Amino acid sequence: MSDYHINIFYSSKDEGYIADIPDLVACSAYGQTPAEALEQLQIAKAAWLEAARKAGKPVPRPRYRPAIYQAPGYGRLVAAN
């Protein structure tokens, strides 16, 4: 895995989309559309990484994998009959 996993979901409470990076604690962003939430998250990610480095804190390697990616057989092609 070369980069961090990103979750994007609709929040009815916030009436918009939330994007987050599970490996980076409290790194999240809001947008009216999924694309806007992703764009804002990229800004938040850069700020999060810069702040961690400046503070001398460790930057976690990308590790989070949603459960679906861990399911047996996920990603294997199945031949059609």
Residues 34-64 as b/e (b if ≥16 CB within 10 A, e otherwise) read eeebeebbeebbeebeeebeeeeeeeeeeee
> In the prediction, which pLDDT does 66 show?
75
Residue type, position 69, single letter = Y
In this prediction the pTM is: 0.78
User: 41 vs 13, 28, 29, 65, 73, CA distance in Å?
Assistant: 19, 6, 5, 18, 31
Domains of the chain with bracketed CATH: 7-62 (3.30.160.250)
pLDDT confidence of 56, banded at 50, 70, 90?
A: very high
Find the mean pLDDT for residues 25-44: 98
pLDDT confidence of 1, banded at 50, 70, 90?
A: very low
* Per-residue pLDDT reduced to its tens digit, 36-46: 999 999 999 99
> In the prediction, which pLDDT does 49 show?
97
SS3 52: helix
